[in-house]
Structure 1
Amino acid sequence: MLAVATTLDNTLGALLIGTLIAACLYGLTTLQTYIYFSRSGEDSALLRSLVAFLWILDTVHIVLISHTVYTYTIIDFGNFAALPKPVWSMVAQVIVMGVSDAMVRGIFCHRIYLLSDRNRVLCGINVFLSIILLCQNIYLCTKELELDTGSFSTFVPLFYANMSTGVAADAVIAMTMTWLLMREKSNMNFRRTNHVIHTLVLYSVSTGAFATMVFLGCLISYAVAPHTSIYVAFLTNLSKVFLNSLLAALNSRQAIRAQMAGAADMLSVPHWQGTNDGLDSPKEKMEVPGTLDLAALRTVNSTSSGSDFTTRGEESAV
């Protein structure tokens, strides 16, 4: 394979493009966070606090990226020898990204725990991968601060391991949630319910697919051009893609509940499902974002032979 020559286009240029994309995604994160808080009055204080803290981390992340670009393009302007050396803000933003991603994965793991009827093994696999990825991020960042330019090759295998773990963690989360939802769909013969579950499956797949594609882009670009900054353009946007996926899932709950307005007594598209594990609202049970009250649906399905929900009754809380 021919080596890719190092130029300003694929070093500072790639870093600048990645920062511009990150700024756009930060704007989208801010908009989605505003929409969430305008609709989340019935969510628990803990969930609202987690979303607020994730937005703060995302703000710190974009500030650190901007500092990195400023350092390379203004402070070290014309100093090409400074390009291979890591700036402290570049290392710090990877740690912030790792913490943010771990929190988002933790929320998705909690969803898996509830959807799987509290299957600790299934949830534990996803938690284990998330913890391993966070530890790898912190270890690589601390070691990178000690590196000189010539010794970075020592940590190339660890970098590949870190990216591979990221791909595996996101793919496993998406596949697990998809399998759990499809399992519920196979137990039901209601068209409208299956349509909503199909929508939830699409959200689950897209959540892991976007993050996995960014991880793969980072991994492939580094493998093809390790002496450039092309992979950094992907790396700086990992946490923003993942966070926006979570916020999209949270903000979609109202639209999904509206789809089921004709069967309000038979369906519950809750705010966030939970148990007395620290994620409950003091006034009402917190429920999985964008998911159905699947236990109630299985009961209805076992006692009804219709092809759609037609019974009306007491309005359910959604």
Structure 2
Amino acid sequence: MSTSDLSSPSPAEVENLVVLFVGFALATFLYGLTFFQMYIYFSRYSNDDIWTRVLVGALFVLDTTSTCLVSELLYHYLITMFDVSMDVLYATTTFCIQDLLSVILTLIVQLFFARRLYTVCGGPSSITSRVVTVAVFFCAFIAFVFGLTSVGQVFKQRQLSAFALPPMAIVAGISQGFAAVTNIIIVVAMCWSLRPARYPDMHVPEGVIDNVVVLCVGRGLILAVVQLAFLGTFVAAPGKPYWIAFQMISCRVYVNTVLGLLNTREVKHGVGLNEEETLSDRQDSRNEGIPSALRFRMPLSTKATQQSVSFSRQDENSGGSEIEEASKSYGDDENLSSVRSRCSEQPAYDKASLS
């Protein structure tokens, strides 16, 4: 390859390198959020359920491994293969392993939400709970199986542009499609289950920011949006590298959604309380732990009532203290005046006796 060819890369090469760099930058940023949220969780919820703590640790380890593989992948394409034309991207072993970890992380997060739905939809006594949980399990399992098949095809074919071929495109499309259906079921079921009509003691979020956090993180809307964008990009242009960026960031969005859901809970004695927990338990937990910036606030009427009660108590206490101080000062003044009168009378008495 001549020097002129190196100085003027082809449009396809520029497209491939830009997609790789953008995917790496977003993946690195999201991993920073993963590390920060992991630290918050283990510092606040020290007595949380052992399985939840194991889940958070496993998600962090897998996400860290995947991010390291993405970094090595970018180094391979931009540094090691600097003198080689990038008109066509070839999947390295690192890329295949990273794709496999993405499929595994997607399954773990979807199973986590399935377990959450099993609880909030009514538990074992509810038919709706069992139906919704089975539907999520089934769709997630289908997406996982076809995802593994797609990874095997990539490992065998190596050329990423081969996804334009019908066999590979169909397998990958089914995997992404069932993953999107799973996330949509999760969002609808979470919004239907976690509503004030079913849980009267549940905290009601206030303001735009709190409602967005609840909808995107607490109900899993961000998962459905990212997965649908991934699916749409792949279906629209399977032979183009645009879907690679979504493949790099989607698993980190999944991980951060679970960590965000766990970290927005109230904490009581080191144990996290879900938003559907009783109001009394959540009120007792407000003085413990580090205050969360995403904590859901109480209704305005409740706040006003508590503030008025506290103000009235403060007024009563301050009034009582003022009366006590006034009585003390009045007693001190009387004692002081009596002492002064006695001292003034004593010299007069002595003078009279001498005269």
TM normalised by structure 1 equals: 0.73
How many residues of Structure 1 are paired with residues of Structure 2 in the alignment? Answer: 266
Structure 2 distance, partners of 1:105, 1:219, is 17
Structure 2 distance, partners of 1:140, 1:11, is 21
**2:113 is matched by which residue type in structure 1?**
F
What is the RMSD of the two structures over their aligned residues, measured on CA atoms?
Answer: 3.2
Structure 1 distance, partners of 2:252, 2:66, is 9
Structure 2 distance, partners of 1:221, 1:158, is 15
1:237 counterpart (233, 237, 249): 249
**1:106 aligns to what?**
111
**1:186 is matched by which residue type in structure 2?**
A
**1:47 aligns to what?**
52
- Give the secondary structure class of the aligned counterpart of 2:37: helix
* Change in CA separation of 1:83 and 1:188 when aligned onto 2, cut-off 3 Å: closer
Structure 1 distance, partners of 2:38, 2:188, is 26
Task: Determine if the alignment matches structure 1 residue 126 to structure 2 residue 119.
Answer: no
**1:32 is matched by which residue type in structure 2?**
Q
Q: Bigger CA drift: 210-219 or 21-30?
A: 210-219
2:146 counterpart (128, 136, 147): 136
Task: Determine if the alignment matches structure 1 residue 186 to structure 2 residue 221.
Answer: no
Task: Determine if the alignment matches structure 1 residue 175 to structure 2 residue 188.
Answer: yes
**1:79 is matched by which residue type in structure 2?**
V
Question: How big is the shift at 1:138?
Answer: 1.1
1:66 counterpart (71, 74, 83): 71
- Give the secondary structure class of the aligned counterpart of 1:84: coil
Structure 1 distance, partners of 2:244, 2:95, is 10
Question: How big is the shift at 1:171?
Answer: 1.3
Question: How big is the shift at 1:216?
Answer: 2.4
**2:36 is matched by which residue type in structure 1?**
L
**1:247 aligns to what?**
259
Q: Residues 143-182 of structure 1: matches in 2 within 5 Å?
A: 143-147=153-157, 149=159, 151-152=162-163, 153=165, 154-182=167-195
The structure whose Rg is larger is 2
- Give the secondary structure class of the aligned counterpart of 1:227: coil
* Change in CA separation of 1:241 and 1:18 when aligned onto 2, cut-off 3 Å: same
**1:145 is matched by which residue type in structure 2?**
F
**2:190 is matched by which residue type in structure 1?**
M
Structure 2 distance, partners of 1:203, 1:108, is 16
Structure 1 distance, partners of 2:234, 2:206, is 38
TM normalised by structure 2 equals: 0.66
2:82 counterpart (50, 73, 77): 77
Structure 2 distance, partners of 1:93, 1:235, is 9
**1:166 is matched by which residue type in structure 2?**
A
Question: How big is the shift at 1:195?
Answer: 1.5
Mark the runs of 5 or more structure 2 residues left unpaired by the alignment: 1-9, 124-128, 282-300, 307-355
Question: How big is the shift at 1:225?
Answer: 3.5
**1:276 aligns to what?**
none
- Give the secondary structure class of the aligned counterpart of 1:77: coil
Higher relative contact order (CA 8 A, sep 6+): 1
**2:240 is matched by which residue type in structure 1?**
T
Structure 2 distance, partners of 1:206, 1:217, is 15
The answer on whether the counterparts of 2:215 and 2:221 sit within 8 Å (CA) in structure 1 is yes
Task: Determine if the alignment matches structure 1 residue 12 to structure 2 residue 17.
Answer: yes
Give the helix-richer structure, 1 or 2: 2
Structure 2 distance, partners of 1:135, 1:67, is 27
Q: Residues 202-281 of structure 1: matches in 2 within 5 Å?
A: 203=213, 205-207=215-217, 208-254=220-266, 271=271
Deviations 1:189-224 (A, max 9, x none): 67xx46259999755531332222222222233334
Task: Determine if the alignment matches structure 1 residue 292 to structure 2 residue 277.
Answer: yes
Structure 2 distance, partners of 1:72, 1:188, is 52
The answer on whether the counterparts of 1:58 and 1:240 sit within 8 Å (CA) in structure 2 is yes
- Give the secondary structure class of the aligned counterpart of 1:41: coil
Structure 1 distance, partners of 2:212, 2:118, is 19
Structure 2 distance, partners of 1:225, 1:218, is 11
Question: How big is the shift at 1:292?
Answer: 2.3
Mark the runs of 5 or more structure 1 residues left unpaired by the alignment: 258-267, 273-286, 297-306, 312-318
